[in-house]
Amino acid sequence: MKHHSLLLAALALAAAASLPVMAQTTRVLSPDGLTYLDVKFADGQLSYSAGYRTIAKAKKKGAKADTLDVPMVLDSPLGVYTNVADFSKDLTLKETIRHEGTIKHSYHLRQGKQSEINSEENGLGLVLTTPQRRNGGVIMTVQFAVFNNNIAYRYRFLQGGETGAIVITGEASGFRLPTDATAFICQQSDPMVGWKRTKPSYEEGYIWDEPVTKRSQSGQGWTFPCLFHEGDKGWLLISETGVSSNYCASHLSDATPDGLFTIAFPMEGENNGFGSTGAQIGLGNSNTNANDDMTGYTPWRTITLGPTLKPIVETTIVWDVVEPLYEPSIDYQGSRNTWSWILWQDPSINYEDQIKYIDLAAALGWEGCLIDGGWYEHIGREGMEKLFAYCKQKGVRPWVWYNSNGAWNDAPQCARQAMHNSIVRKKEMKWLRDGGVAGIKVDFFAGDKQETMRVYEGILSDANDYGIQCIFHGCTLPRGWERMYPNYCSSEAVLASENLYFSQGFCEQEARHACLHPFVRNTVASMEYGGTVLQKRLHKEPGKGNTRRTSDVFELATAIAFQSSGQNFALTPRNLTEQPQFEIDFMKQVPTTWDETRFIDGYPGKYIVLARRHGTRWYVAAMNAEPAAKQLSLDLRVLDGFHIESATLLTDGPDGQTPQQTTAKPDKKGLIQLTLQPQCAAVLF
């Protein structure tokens, strides 16, 4: 916590003694002066509001520029409920500490949307106490970080008396939006429902551009991240980061009729009803330098806002405010994997079919092959060891599926009872490492309770000891994990490609979802979608299964648009002979790790133009989900070092059904003109 240490040390000192403050509003501006946060203390309660400022040029030389506040989060409550005291009311504000100068965050992110990140914040800290005599001297601090277009805050509880540990039972933390704002949000599922009682797993449908006051069908509220549109004022994204074994993961309640969403803790029924819905935390020490003391913190709540969608798509806030929790044991790499299960399903989890998919990975020059659930019964450990040896011979790294269970749901697939505690895990990890396995995919987790966060962290930490990466499915949203856990790879936490196989209705919606994810789910976390389907029909047998509605180039474009350092692509052995060669050539060279991500144009669920850079090469995906052809006039000169004149252009042809490779031809103004048919795309690289 280097960057925050000065502020925290100051908070700790201030906690000791100072005069109470009756009422005050403190404004913090972002380093560029355009994002504001107002923190208000009045009548023993803490609240905040936030937005951005527009600055009109001064009319006369030397005159002051006119600034105008554009509020996006209206006066919203702060505070925490604990088992020793209610820290949402009757508070005494002991101290307000402004961090002098900006706090800089410079770090390398191996596996996110950007590799070298330099961001800056202005910081503010508050120290508060409650009057209760029986709270054991517990002190609450609130830490605010205001970045350009991004705001984060978290609480920390410090020991000021006898009490050394508390239980957080809930939070008053809220987000009040104007009632005419609209929402792109995904509801939280009821617990212990769905297939083999495996929900919630962040696989519900979205509401699209609907009023913020709409109630969720389940009545359980909405999962992070949550995207909101405030008309001409702009866009707002709310999420959460820094959730480790030290806390539960939370979500948003339904909004009140006047537009207030509040932080909601896990549901009682999650994890088969076992474990607390709250968080058990140790208190930080207010008498020592807080440098290495990680205790007492809650996760960060994050807000990204601005007049356009650019800050939403390009945000790095969820990584800026967290730190690695351990060192990587090896130099982890991104991986493109073949994956038989997605189109050949359960019957393909046998030795012979896995050989075919290892051969496919080798033919494509990909790094890995994922052997999915059912291997324990149908291939067995000896058979797996033979497959591992075959992988080695072919230069392909195996990835292996596990059931996280245990004890928390009815998911039957094996291997089970191998990931739920550290004793069995370490034994399993050793076997995997000895077999040259690069990573595991662990499925069917039990929700958002702290109890389950401890399972995730235990798997990640043990896997790192054996040089193994982790993908999670049937799982929660990862919250800052790409940076916190160096061997973390990716998570599902989305209605993913398996639904194309299961439902024609989902195929009809594929383009729409694909043009939503870069703005919401995928902008705050890696998304293991398992996409790029090149077969027209979703089945092992020709002529069977659901029909894909998107074009070939649309599917290729998802390999750029969907960010995940490990991608389990849905290519099949048939694709090698049935597809145009340039499609296969593209998939042979598309990377999965990115140095830079730039938003060019788009609207959630309608269309997107997104550019990502790997090394010196830019990849641009332009995708249309609207029912009519889309005319785009793109200025790609904003991409540093992109040579448009020599770029390769993949399109679906004028009819949307004739995939072709040409070279990009900018017009006289240097713009690229594209016409995208419905559910079609263009790729430039």
Could you list the residues that contact Ca ion (CB under 5 A)? 474
Element housing 464 (H / E): helix 450-465
Based on CB atoms, which residue is closest to Ca ion, 411 or 484? Answer: 411
Angle 253-259-264 from CA coordinates, rounded to 5°: 15
Give 391 or 446: the residue with its C-beta nearer to Ca ion: 446
What DSSP designation does 533 have? Answer: -
| Sequence-separated (6 or more) residues with CB below 8 Å from residue 202 | 186, 223, 475, 476, 477, 492, 493, 494
Do 386 and 351 meet the contact criterion of CB atoms below 8 Å apart? yes
Cβ(14)–Cβ(94) under 8 Å?
yes
Buried b (16+ CB within 10 A) or exposed e, 313-327: bbbbbbbbbbbebee
Nearer of residues 316 and 348 to Ca ion, judged by Cβ: 348
**CB of 643 vs Ca ion, minimal distance in Å:** 40
Alpha carbon distance 107, 117 (integer Å)? 5
Nearest distance, CB of residue 495 and Ca ion, angstroms: 8
Residue 447 or 474 with smaller CB distance to Ca ion: 474
Closest approach of Ca ion to the CB of residue 333, in Å: 25
CB of 473 to Ca ion, least distance (A): 5
DSSP 574-618: THHHHS-HHHHHHHHH--S--SEEEEEEEETTTEEEEEEEETTEE
> Residue 459 Cβ, how far from Ca ion at the closest point, in Å?
17
Q: Output 411 or 432, the one with its CB closest to Ca ion.
A: 411
What is the C-alpha separation between 224 and 249, in angstroms, rounded? Answer: 10
Smallest distance from the beta carbon of 475 to Ca ion, in angstroms?
8
334 to each of 61, 84, 371, 487, how far by Cα in Å? Answer: 54, 46, 17, 10
Q: Which lies closer to Ca ion via its Cβ, residue 493 or residue 622?
A: 493
> Closest CB to Ca ion among 474 and 605?
474
Angle of the 351-364 helix axis to the 581-589 helix axis, nearest 10 = 90
The DSSP call for residue 636 is: G
- Shortest approach of Ca ion to residue 498 CB, angstroms? 6
CA distance 141 to 510: 45
For Ca ion, which is the closer residue by CB, 474 or 545?
474
Between CA 476 and CA 555 the distance in angstroms is: 26
- 391 three-class SS: helix
Q: Which residue's CB atom is positioned nearest to Ca ion?
A: 474
Nearest approach in angstroms of CB 188 to Ca ion is: 16
Identity of the residue numbered 166: I
**C-beta of 570: minimal distance to Ca ion in Å?**
14
Nearer to Ca ion, 374 or 474 (CB): 474
